[in-house]
Structure 1
Amino acid sequence: MKTKYYLLILIVFQFACAQEDKSITTPSEINYKIETVVEGINNPWGMVFLPDGSLLITEKSGKLYQYKNNEKIEIAHNLSVYNRGQGGLLDVQLHPNYSENGWVYLSYASTEGDEEGGNTAIARGKLSGNKLTSVEVLYKATPNTTKGQHFGSRIAFDDEGYLYFSAGERGERDVNPQDITKDGGKIYRLHDDGRIPTDNPFVNIPNAKKAIYSYGHRNPQGMLKHYQTGKIWVHEHGPQGGDEINVIKKGANFGWPIITYGENYNGTAITDITKKEGMEQPLYYWVPSIAPSGMTFVTSDVYPDWKGSLMVGSLKFGYLERLVLKDNKVVKREKLVEGEGRIRNVIQGPDGYLYVGVESKGVVKILPE
């Protein structure tokens, strides 16, 4: 009887260890080198390639650049950027049919509104020479606040052409993320022209923000469409511990701050529960926090041993993390691009190579050897 009992304990222990294994491998098992592509950008927040092979880059301070023919060109714009703390000119993405319509989408902290300060906004415009023209503001979160934290904000399109974007809870964790009548701590879904889809989950709820698609988020700074399933994935900053990867579901509550795997920065508890009925569990969470920003899947043949991996930038530790997934579970972690600086963003270019935005440096390229 004792033998069976100890065997059961051993099995439970082994299972728990497997579930909680957060170890990370370094250095990488693949040889590569780093090549600097664009220099002199202090905070390359967003990056996207244009069909002509040039690269659009947002600088958090408010500048928009086009890197073309080995030259960095500033693109003039009239967006009311609120450059404070974590806010500024943030993500940039192209319309899925950019070659036909020319729309460029930008997320940014905006000063528009009656209150002092700023909040997250989404706008679109068209490149005309060295200017952004035909600018339209599609969504502006309210109210403005002078707080400098948790603006989000990333942009992605799904296979049906809907526009998704994230907005952080602006440091108001007990006010915004669980209240669907308030902006902040949400993933939003719009038509490409800013109209509210009639099948959004809260369109018929009085006083609700009709653009909300999911809620209970903290500060999502990574978002993409899964290259196989078409689902929208995000990652978000936890407090001290509890950064998360989440697969977005219509109308879902992702729990912040009622449930979390993190704690306050002073070590005190935010909550004593990590799970609750009616609230989603993350696909993966980091303890300790890595402060994730930007992410992309490797789908090209340039890195055959990395194909299918999820790449996530770490602001806190200054490396690019490779996550190996099997059946939507992280089975391996690996550190890449160490020693370059805080990793703000990572994208896969049309040439199949990975391009990494590094704070206080610019954009670098990973070349396999």
Structure 2
Amino acid sequence: MKIFRQRMLSTIILISTAGLTACNAQTDAVNPAAKSAAETASSKPSSGSVNQTYKLTRIAEFNEPWAMAELKDGRLLVTERKGKLQLFDPKTRQKIEVKGIPKVAYGGQGGLGDIALHPQFEQNHIIYFSYAEAGQGGYGAVVARGELDLSNSQQPQVKNLKTIWKQVPKVQGQGHYAHRLLFGQDGKLWISSGERQKFDPAQNMQSNLGKILRLNEDGTPAAGNPFSSQGEVAKQVWSLGHRNPLGIAFDAQGKLWVVEMGPKGGDELNLIVKGENYGYPLVSNGDHYDGRDIPDHHTRPEFKAPEISWTPVISPSSLIFYQGSQFPAWKNKALIGGLSSKSIVVVDTAMKPVTEVQRVDMKQRIRDVLEAPDGSIWVLEDGQNARLLKMTAK
């Protein structure tokens, strides 16, 4: 029997359905306890190799936020799962809702999701966002793009909205959308697509569920994808065999990494390689929630194993590679937001083997992290009354 996390947090709302028990921990609402505006903290390092200190300052609160992006002028775009996109100015603390966002399918893990700026945003003002929608067969993630019109400072809106990608097929249930967005240096759009708690689609090339996808900016499949000869859906696919990939980022060397939730145990950080199969649901370092065993990665060497996995789980929500100078001990390291672990998990991907080097105790579920241009870090908590924190050098 594999070891798995036994201590459940009292603030987590238990869901009785076996297939949803632990993976829905990422969306349970938590009301953060009131804290002072400024806090100073230092975490206990996981392995003793890093002990970066920091200071936290409370900036604002949002209702079930999911993701954020920073504009050149310092304002933040923050998505809230019920379907609101907020334009927030940290200088004035003013928050204005951006109009023009379509209706989202809010519930379970669904709602308004990730947000990303077009690589030429300063010229074309195009933003991308993901969300869950209802339709024939159930629910699925969608990616849309539109023009962010900020000409009226008090009435921002998204215009000329166009849907450019959808999960296929739509299925019953509202879990494991993943739908993280990322632009590469070459202008290609990467999408992490969860397997929607349906297991088998992660290995089915006629579905884009359980895959990492590489598209052009207009949503069409990018040239050079490895499965282009296997059909229209397969043309989108870069890698397969993923479960619920909730963080996606490039490191300083241009390598693509994905962090994903495992089942009961076995959260993974994967180095993404063109055409590789990461094995889910055929292999995992975790088990099914009903107690059935899943063979570990080492039993099936044809599948690419994670660079590091966690049991007990960390419940990863997001991923960045820190490039700034305010936190020198974190330079070029992965920072993973943790939900059930209430942490930021710092991982050195240059070490062999890849190693967790510090776990920052945040005392609240962390939904997203974002590096600011000055090297400070924006930290977004999860749930209702979730705080936006600014992490700076101590």
TM class by smaller structure: 0.7 to 0.9
1:249 aligns with 2:273: yes
| Within-5 A mapping of 1:1-369 | 24=46, 29-39=51-61, 41-68=62-89, 69-111=92-134, 113-115=135-137, 117-129=138-150, 130-173=156-199, 175-206=200-231, 208-226=233-251, 228-271=252-295, 274-327=298-351, 329-339=353-363, 341-359=364-382, 360=384, 361-369=386-394
Larger radius of gyration: 1
> What is the root-mean-square deviation of aligned Cα atoms in Å?
2.0
Q: Could you tell me how far 1:272 is from its partner in structure 2? A: 5.5
- Match of 1:204, SS? helix
Q: Could you tell me how far 1:84 is from its partner in structure 2? A: 1.6
Q: Could you tell me how far 1:142 is from its partner in structure 2? A: 2.2
TM-score relative to the length of structure 1: 0.87
1:331–1:210 CA distance, 2 compared to 1 (3 A): closer
Structure 2: state its 5+ residue gaps: 1-44, 151-155
Q: Could you tell me how far 1:328 is from its partner in structure 2? A: 5.7
2:337 & 2:273 partners in 1: Cα distance?
24
2:104 & 2:232 partners in 1: Cα distance?
28
- Match of 2:357, SS? strand
Q: Given that residues 213 and 239 in structure 2 are in contact (C-alpha distance below 8 angstroms), is that contact kept between their aligned partners in structure 1?
A: yes
Amino acid at match of 1:146: Q
1:207 & 1:136 partners in 2: Cα distance?
20
After superposition, give the CA deviation of every residue in 1:270-308 in whole Å (9 maximum; x if it has no partner).
Answer: 235544243111111111111101111121111122222
- Counterpart in 1 of 2:11? none
2:101 & 2:165 partners in 1: Cα distance?
16
- Match of 2:234, SS? coil
1:346–1:329 CA distance, 2 compared to 1 (3 A): farther
Identity %: 34
1:261 & 1:54 partners in 2: Cα distance?
41
- Match of 1:192, SS? coil
Equivalent residues, number:
341
1:254–1:332 CA distance, 2 compared to 1 (3 A): closer
After superposition, give the CA deviation of every residue in 1:310-367 in whole Å (9 maximum; x if it has no partner).
Answer: 111111121111223434643343221421x110111101121111110132311112
1:254 & 1:332 partners in 2: Cα distance?
21
1:273 & 1:235 partners in 2: Cα distance?
16
TM-score relative to the length of structure 2: 0.82
After superposition, give the CA deviation of every residue in 1:123-180 in whole Å (9 maximum; x if it has no partner).
Answer: 111111311111111101122233021101211111211100011101100x200011
1:254 & 1:55 partners in 2: Cα distance?
34
2:236 & 2:304 partners in 1: Cα distance?
20
Which structure 1 residue ranges, 4+ long, deviate > 6 Å from structure 2? none
Structure 1: state its 5+ residue gaps: 1-22
Higher relative contact order (CA 8 A, sep 6+): 2
